[in-house]
Structure 1
Amino acid sequence: MDSTADRSAPGRAVATADVDRSDPHYRAWLKEAVRKVQADANRSADTHLLRFPLPEGWGIDLYLKDESTHPTGSLKHRLARSLFLYGLCNGWIRPDKPVIEASSGSTAVSEAYFAKLIGVPFVAVMPRTTSAEKIRLIEFHGGRCHFVDDSRKMYEESAALADRTGGHYMDQFTYAERATDWRGNNNIAESIYQQLRLERYPEPTWIVATAGTGGTSATVARYVRYMQYDTRICVPDPENSCFFDGWTHGDPHAASDCGSRIEGIGRPRMEPSFVPGAIDRMMKVPDAASVAAVRALEGAIGRKAGGSTGTGLWSALKIVAEMVAAGDRGSVVTLICDPGDRYLDKYYSDDWLAEQGLDVRPYTAAIEHFLATGDWPC
């Protein structure tokens, strides 16, 4: 199941075989399901754009788009809503048939919410190492967790489950970049620019977006080009992920032998929704640096966030340091992807860090030195 067509075919094949599109009961169900998903967006306010405190004399503003305030607590709420509308309008999601997703956690939490909203079963296929809090949230929203020992097996197991049950494999890693309207329609990119409109640097020099599916970075980059902005896009990549190598060497077949320790980002293969040509820069970020940054965030603004937020913040701070060194002024935007209370047993646990062999102290010292002096020591 290496090709996009093969991986998504089981759900589509069953969908076209067992539903009469002219059946008035099905059409009534479909209209109501789409209405419920759209109503969720209509009820939701925009997420906040928070400022990270930097010395005023630097002439640089750093912002964090706080996606943890969505109803399901993460950036993936936007994606899940788009994927459900895409699947419903394509006729792939049907009454009483399960929706199945390969997910390390946050996407599955959000998809479980939308599945419950429209009244269909949901199954999340995920690594056994997924945080206990994410598992609890999936089950809270009525989803069921199906575990695999090797994260690289999630795709084929999800497709096989869809085939066996007659359900639909949502396949976020293929459809993330195409299910989202990147031209606007209050997507995350349009929202960032609208919220920056009255700031002193309304067009950011850089937007930093980590990649799991790659859908967010693709959406932001496409919107920037569509609107003819000069903003550049940076994608930080954690350890045990192949995106950086694939982008650097132009290798669509790049792969990693094991999964990422930073949940929600980094992949063992180049995903179909990751669009290298839309990205201006990538950084490889040590996992210990991600944890140090997310802990520094709590000290700076009093908010706990997940490890992927730390990966993005580390890269954003490094970009700010480069701007300071060059005497540039402007703004940088990154994301709070999800809340830290989902990871108290991981990124906020010294025992977990010791088990993983991660020493955050040099990276914590680097951040403190930079914020005090403006010099990046690493």
Structure 2
Amino acid sequence: MTNAWVSEAVRRIERDFQRSADTHLFPIDLPALAGVQIYLKDESTHPTGSLKHRLARSLFLYGLCNGWIGEGTTIIESSSGSTAVSEAYFARLLGLPFIAVMPRSTSAAKVAQIAFYGGRSHFVERGDQVYDEAARLARECGGHYMDQFTYAERATDWRGNNNIAESIFQQMRAEPHPVPRWIVVGAGTGGTSATIGRYLRYQGHDTQLCVVDPEHSVFLDHWQDRSRTGLTSDQPSRIEGIGRPRVEPSFVPGVIDRMLRVPDAASFAALRVLEQRVGKRFGGSTGTDFCGALQLACELRARGEAGSIVTLACDGGERYLDTYYSDAWLSTQGHDIGPWLDRLNAACDSGSWYGN
């Protein structure tokens, strides 16, 4: 490995960053929640279409500066799709081979996007198999296993340096309630919640962090009882990008103020509600985030309190047209979103989580 190659690789990533604008933060118009404003930070506008673009950039810089990535290094990642898409982008930027180890259920659109950036997809049957298989491939080819689930929380500078938390607070400066009462995120690696939670404490902001967890994920159970570190689930999360069958090393429960379990049917219904009220389609994790933000907003209103809540749109809905946005797919998977459509619309229109 030569210092000259690494230095040029870092400069390429930094130039790419300078060519990319920050993502938009916009309010969701819900008049019934008078005094409480929900904001959506649209991470789908990154070059690779998701929040994971930030993580992939950080992981590459971390690997380069640690001496793990050099000229010709094959990059291997375990992923549910979005991180692999973003890492394939940066691998191509640096002229490096890339292999994504993913569950076979990963959306076809994500697989196609990985191929577009020159990456190769390697499939396993279950989500809990990605870790060992990625490590095995790295050993066999002498490549570097990025291991987002271990390094996400340490690769990102949580003190600032244009991380997502700093971006949120800069964009909120001129709003009626510039310091949010809550920031709501899901957890996949745990890196985003760790970055935001640490930033809030470092900056001394009076903002609480809520992490929403889908069905079959073990994060909430571990957060409730920290002694249960070896928790596992034999069923994968059906919300791509968040929820894990094990407690990931990057998950930091101590920075989280509250966690909420969101049923999968509620997440899928929330996508339809957002499309009607925002005019844009998002991925499943955005539906999970919105459910949590709406519940917290209704709770603030019920107490007669005002304030702002910020949540994330993690990726766009174009990747999920044949799944989350397909009535046939929902029916095949046994998801009845009708009751949740009614409940979420009622909450939006009345300002009450219980529809009163």
TM > 0.5 fold call: yes
Instruction: Determine which of 282, 294, 308 is the counterpart of 1:317.
Output: 294
Instruction: Determine which of 209, 214, 236 is the counterpart of 1:259.
Output: 236
Instruction: Determine which of 108, 117, 131 is the counterpart of 2:93.
Output: 117
**Which residues of 2 match residues 11-90 of structure 1 at below 5 A?**
19=1, 26-55=2-31, 58-90=34-66
- The one-character-per-residue Cα deviations of 1:330-365 (angstroms, maximum 9, x if unpaired) are 000000000000000111001111111011111110
2:222 is the alignment partner of 1:246: yes
Aligned-residue offset at 1:309? 0.3
| Cα RMSD after superposing both structures | 0.9
Instruction: Determine which of 334, 341, 345 is the counterpart of 1:368.
Output: 345
Aligned-residue sequence identity (percent) comes to 62
Aligned-residue offset at 1:57? 6.3
**Which residues of 2 match residues 242-321 of structure 1 at below 5 A?**
242-250=218-226, 251-321=228-298
Corresponding residue for 1:345?
Answer: 322
Aligned-residue offset at 1:145? 0.1
Name the SS for the 1:88 alignment partner. helix
Corresponding residue for 2:209?
Answer: 233
- The one-character-per-residue Cα deviations of 1:254-302 (angstroms, maximum 9, x if unpaired) are 1111111100100000000010001000001000000111111110010
Corresponding residue for 2:123?
Answer: 147
Task: Look up the equivalent residue of 2:284 and give its one-letter code.
Answer: G
Q: How many residues align?
A: 354
Task: Look up the equivalent residue of 1:49 and give its one-letter code.
Answer: L
2:179 is the alignment partner of 1:220: no
Corresponding residue for 1:175?
Answer: 151
CA distance in 1, matches of 2:264, 2:26: 24
CA distance in 1, matches of 2:34, 2:89: 43
Q: Is the 8 A contact 2:33 2:348 kept in 1?
A: no
Structure 2: unaligned runs, 5 residues or longer: none
- The one-character-per-residue Cα deviations of 1:162-191 (angstroms, maximum 9, x if unpaired) are 000000000000000000000001110000
Task: Look up the equivalent residue of 1:373 and give its one-letter code.
Answer: S
Corresponding residue for 1:100?
Answer: 76
Following TM superposition, where does structure 1 have runs of at least 4 consecutive aligned residues deviating by more than 6 angstroms?
Answer: none
Structure 1: unaligned runs, 5 residues or longer: 1-18, 20-25
* More deviation, 34-43/56-65: 56-65
CA distance in 1, matches of 2:148, 2:15: 22
2:147 is the alignment partner of 1:194: no
Name the SS for the 1:209 alignment partner. strand
Aligned-residue offset at 1:56? 6.5
Corresponding residue for 2:139?
Answer: 163
- The one-character-per-residue Cα deviations of 1:204-240 (angstroms, maximum 9, x if unpaired) are 0000011100100110110000000110000000011
- The one-character-per-residue Cα deviations of 1:308-335 (angstroms, maximum 9, x if unpaired) are 0000000100000101111010000000
Corresponding residue for 2:310?
Answer: 333
